Amino acid sequence: MSSLNPVEPFDLIIFGGTGDLAMRKLLPAIYRRDEAGQLPDPSRIIGIARAPMEVSEFQQRLYSALNKYLGADPDETVWRRFSSRLSYLDLDVTDKTAQNWRGLHTLLEADANPVRAAYLSVSPRIYGAIASGLSANNLVTDDMRLVLEKPIGIDQDSANAINEAVGRYFNENQIFRIDHYLGKETVQNLLALRFGNAIFEPLWRREVIDHVQITVAEELGVGNRVEFYEHIGALKDMVQNHLLQLVCLVAMEPPVSLDVDAVRSEKIKVLKALKPISGADVLTQTVRGQYRAGAVDGVAVDGYEDELTEASNTETYVALKLEIENWRWSGTPFYLRTGKRLPEKRSEIVIRFKPVPHSIFSGLQPNGLRISLQPDEGVKLTTMVKEPGPGGFELEAKDLDLSFAEAFGGATYPDAYERLIIEVLRGNPTLFMHRDEVAWAWRFIDNITEGWQNEGQKVEKYFAGSWGPHGASNLLDRDGRAWQADL
């Protein structure tokens, strides 16, 4: 995974090349890597979408997108180099005929670069059609990489169908399923923290840890993705992938090496050990919320339903209590919550330790390890210390505070997509999901969705700018616990 491993010249085809993700994240990420001098010549980037367009227009759109999402006009020299790598082709991917694919065929076969990758930033419904079109037109090379964006399906069956469909033309080791949280610096640091330090492992177990909290809070609302979101909701959009991946990294056993199979198989064991939440249990172990109009950062914002023409029972917030049935974690609950239109963007994992067995002081609080994933990456260990002075033993909770920004001299980290795209080009699948991970995660989620349907569980409204519905506080309150103070 060293950043020093060179990237070989590549041909990267982006299906959905003019779409929101490509313009907002993928192409800016590749531009950034070019800016950092990491893209070898004569690498090429081929944008594909349905609408006919001159390459100059594609370049123009991208120039504006870079300005918008990187916050400034691109550097002139870098832009000249980067834009010269770009091509654009219109293609109806559902039509397999050679005539339809001729443009791509001609482009790829002339001066083919050693590495070929196709990034599918389109609806998962057409993943199979694209894989089949590439294959029928002899464009799949032996070590070509196929990158699949989430969501892989909307349930276990549809995910299996997608994996079968692409698996007909690509081997599992050629398929890179993206969960961009795995490309985040601090998410990778979880592995470093747990397995690069001897002090945590003896504490990492049910006897010492009272419970774990995982929060992924967003300020943003659903915005212009409302149509997509109506069919998905927070459980499938965030928990099935990002939050469950975080659960895996916190809960997994130490892998024997950093080898991709070693890490994946430990993660899969965690997913298999999740106690299903099904039937009426959803009513006590899950909370669905939906934001109503309110104010975020002092600015008035609409409610979720205001963007729709009719009432909706889609959750923009979800909280749940999950249990892992194995020796390490049995009896130590994991509380998860994620939502849109919360007061701030903040992702963090809090490990809450048990109280001291016998207290000789008053006012003790249990220790907590707070791992901040974004925006301020760092680790804090809440520790009880004596207040200075002659006034007797007054104890106060203070943090041992490791801020990554301070520790690494204000270094800025590349966006998760920058790292992930480079790993695709290098052919390193460690940071990507195996099809079994996707399937096991869906299995857990499908039980909940089925429970919600059968039990008619409704969303509970919360004000935009608040920390979510009351039900989410009650979820912990019932167990005599509370969400770590919402800072």
Q: Tell me the closest approach of the beta carbon of residue 415 to ligand BG6, in angstroms.
A: 8
Q: Does 377 bind ligand BG6 (CB under 6 A)?
A: no
Question: Is residue 416 a contact partner of residue 184, using CB atoms and an 8 Å limit?
Answer: yes
Number of residues that bind ligand BG6 (CB under 6 A): 3
Nearest CA to 239 out of 176, 321, 330 is that of: 321
In which element (H, E) is residue 386 found?
A: strand 378-386
Between 185 and 218, CB nearer to ligand BG6: 218
Active-site annotation holder among 180, 242, 358, 470: 242
Q: Tell me the closest approach of the beta carbon of residue 303 to ligand BG6, in angstroms.
A: 17
Between 133 and 233, CB nearer to ligand BG6: 233
Tokens of 248: 């895996």
* Chain residue whose CB lies nearest ligand BG6: 237
Nearest CA to 247 out of 315, 314, 179 is that of: 179
DSSP string, 281-306: HHHHHEEEEEEESEEETTEEE--SGG
Q: Tell me the closest approach of the beta carbon of residue 198 to ligand BG6, in angstroms.
A: 31
Q: Does 305 bind ligand BG6 (CB under 6 A)?
A: no
Between 44 and 180, CB nearer to ligand BG6: 180
Q: Tell me the closest approach of the beta carbon of residue 234 to ligand BG6, in angstroms.
A: 8
- Give the β-pairing of 115-120 and 10-15: parallel
Q: What is the DSSP letter of 120?
A: E
Q: Does 218 bind ligand BG6 (CB under 6 A)?
A: yes
Q: Identify residues 148-207 at the interface with ligand BG6 (CB under 6 A).
A: 180
Q: Does 237 bind ligand BG6 (CB under 6 A)?
A: yes
Identify whether 242 is a catalytic site residue.
yes
Between 44 and 340, CB nearer to ligand BG6: 340
- Residues 6 or more apart whose CB falls under 8 angstroms from that of 98 comprise 105, 137
Q: Tell me the closest approach of the beta carbon of residue 389 to ligand BG6, in angstroms.
A: 43
Neighbour tally for 133: CB within 10 Å? 23
DSSP string, 60-118: HHHHHHHHHHHSSPPPHHHHHHHHHTEEEEE--TT---HHHHHHHHHHHHTT--SEEEE
Between 210 and 218, CB nearer to ligand BG6: 218
> Which residues of the shown chain bind ligand BG6 in the complex (CB under 6 A)?
180, 218, 237
Q: Which residues participate in catalysis according to the annotation?
A: 242
